[in-house]
Amino acid sequence: MKRLLYIPLVLVWLLSCKKDSDSDGVFNGIGTFRTIEGRWHSVEIERSSLDNKSNWEPIANANSDTLIFRNDGVVLNADGSPRCCAPPTLIINGQLLDVKPQTALPNNPLCQTNCITCPTWEMSWNADQLIISTCSTPKMKYVR
């Protein structure tokens, strides 16, 4: 008789388990928006030579670019305005993540021109260094 009682309890217990998920598109592993969240400053650019060897050249402070990544993946300029032609997806350390703004973005009047959007930026991240590769530009190295 006790077995009949245990069977429904075990079934209820098994069916009540659910997979952990994060509904806002931000995950908790390596290669997530939280890993790159914050302000990044460009310090080097990758240049290729005629013999297909690449080397990193420093960027002068006057020419340095600043990117701000929000925790939802939105890319902003240094002044907090939305980045023109920002990608809808990012690949961070091999993980493809969709950029889904959690709050409305203000209109950026500089983005009125037609631009060719790179659908995905590929990023290599470790603690204090971020290397960004886009469709048509050389790789850029950023630091916090």
Q: What is the pLDDT of residues 47-87, one digit of tens each?
A: 987 788 889 999 998 899 999 999 899 999 999 999 988 89
How far is residue 126 from each of residues 7, 40, 51, 92, measured CA to CA in Å? Answer: 49, 13, 29, 10
If you average pLDDT over every residue of the chain, what do you get?
Answer: 82
Which one is predicted more confidently, 20 or 132?
132
| CA-based nearest residue to 30, from 93, 90, 72, 73 | 93
> How far is Cα of residue 128 from the mean position of the Cα atoms in its chain?
15
pLDDT at 75: 93
Residue ranges of the domains in the chain?
27-102+116-143
pTM of the model: 0.72
Q: Would you say residue 3 has pLDDT above 70?
A: no
Percent of the chain with pLDDT over 90: 43
